Structure 1
């Protein structure tokens, strides 16, 4: 972060100021004293410098390079002249008109001047003379009539990116880096303290929260988000602990009964009771597995299938249990095919659980009705005690049971609702006309 701040400050100091000055001048906005054409001076001056050559007799003259000739062809109004820094004598190759205009140069001792030739018909023409160190010595280079072109940006950049510029701005950059280091270190101190607090939190100390006192306003939302995440995690772990404790309690009862029956296998009711207890244990285990499977997001691939044959297969599987308990199951299907795309195992788990609940709620000799209708819904209808209006939402809470002395772990409807919602559907309950409960699964048609 400190390096990034220092780099940003370096770029702002070195590039932003000249770039802004450049755009202000060429746009005509503001009160800039630099005209757009002034930026063309540096390229023409650089081209003239590269054209200075020393002859075998040690004399220096201007031998225009190809780049300088091309520039003069594109800008015929331009001119250039080079003067000896000591004698003020013009070098061969200088523009005669410009030498004549600067005839009084020997009486001037200046490092740089801006000028305009009197009587020049080109109103926007400008001139510049600078005393420069060139590869062949110290000379005053005068350029005149230059015009701005986008190619001049390279020359302007070279003007600013020099060792002199680096030396001048180095103290400012170092000072800015030092200030950034101090500010960042001071500002991140509360964050480091919060990180230490977070690192000390484990599954046994999820109740702890990170203090947001003395933290910068920019960091406070992060601390609040971490605290909210810890609250959700703490609630989730607490729910899992209650889940495990309740599941263990629910399993302990049928296992104890099975163990008691095993001690007296000659009892006449042994086979009936043992089958009932095995079904109860199996139901609890399947519900627990479904819950874990849902929480772990380890679902298999999505299946596409016809809804009616799938439901009929489930009804056929559970019919022997219904007959054994003196109940019947009726099925009503739609006149057309209903195709769905979802996890088949999840739907089978939900429908099986609803059928099991309905058979237990249905009076002896009654009929549980399963209805499949378009676009993609499944109704499981019983005619038992039904669900009171005040219990419509509570029936989907984990481990909630109206009768705590009856069979069942209170997990089935909660897990069923989660499974249906994970498939993009909904599970609801309403009262059956004439008494009973109707559970409706609404799915998305493929």
Structure 2
């Protein structure tokens, strides 16, 4: 993700930029309107007060040393223009070291400053007998190249270029340095505000990342979400709801189709049973059995999905695996193979449904019998860690195919028998049981399918009782 694409970075940047612009335009955007409408502190209650600082700069720029080293005010072009634009402009400059007026100063203005004939406003003053009530003067001690001076100005009228001049002079190094603490504080506050404001969005992101096909019923939380982002979250929730409806419709269709297929398959098996014994009959019988197995698995998967919320039920994994091994013993004998069962020393209780676990293990045992060489033995092993290993000694599964074999309709070769749906359904069914399935090598050759189930807490298992659960089913 590019740095400039970050919403947090953009918000903080614009916050700081806005603070910078606001700070350096305060003279014109805030103080000037206040002065124009006589609002606020009396020191800034008239437009004429805006001319005082510029007058001070003009006067300090006009100071010179005359003959004999005396300080004088030279009539510079800037000062002449100031006098021309302001006919009533007066000024007085006191040299603090000598306590004398600089040549060119207005004695009357200085005298007025020394008596009670002025009304002072924190550096600004108004001569009491002046008929213009808006006239303002400025008096301030300043450090110059000629030493410390006291400069007083009075009678300058407001001009719009005075505001522009003050705005430009506000962009100084000193003001910029003064802005740094404000800018830093603004950045910290903006970062905290943005992070806090976007916290619900980050939480929604975590929720969205955890959504799977089985958790579509859980919409993204909109609590505390900014109103600007709420429509997006609502749109996502709407999309999730539509996807959930589509998935549910597909699952209903699959379950209904599987249910409808049971009758014609039963009829087909009955008709095949009437055929005379032959190799063709045996092949057709195997094919019909495969079809019925897939249909039964689809129905079991649909039932597991419908009853997933009732996963408090527990099953004895060892007893269930033994039952599956016993059921397939006749098939193994007919194929001149054997099934060996290795059970646990104590009952292993897992979460799930007996018929669902039987379907998973039955498919794996049936596949193992097909892969096992004639005269060989398929091993069904139940571990204390709620794991079942179904071991064959056939050709095995290549490492590059171990992920693909669980994909729907995948077959290594076109001549490979089957539809490629069995292991895909087993994987989905194991997931519905909160379990997992994988394939590994069998020592000496072959494949070992490992199915892990979710153990049931021992205390809860003893409280519920396996027999009670099976009766409830």
Pairwise TM-score range, normalised by the shorter structure: 0.3 to 0.5
Scaled by the length of structure 1, the TM-score of the pair is 0.44
> Quick check: which one's helix share is greater?
2
Scaled by the length of structure 2, the TM-score of the pair is 0.42
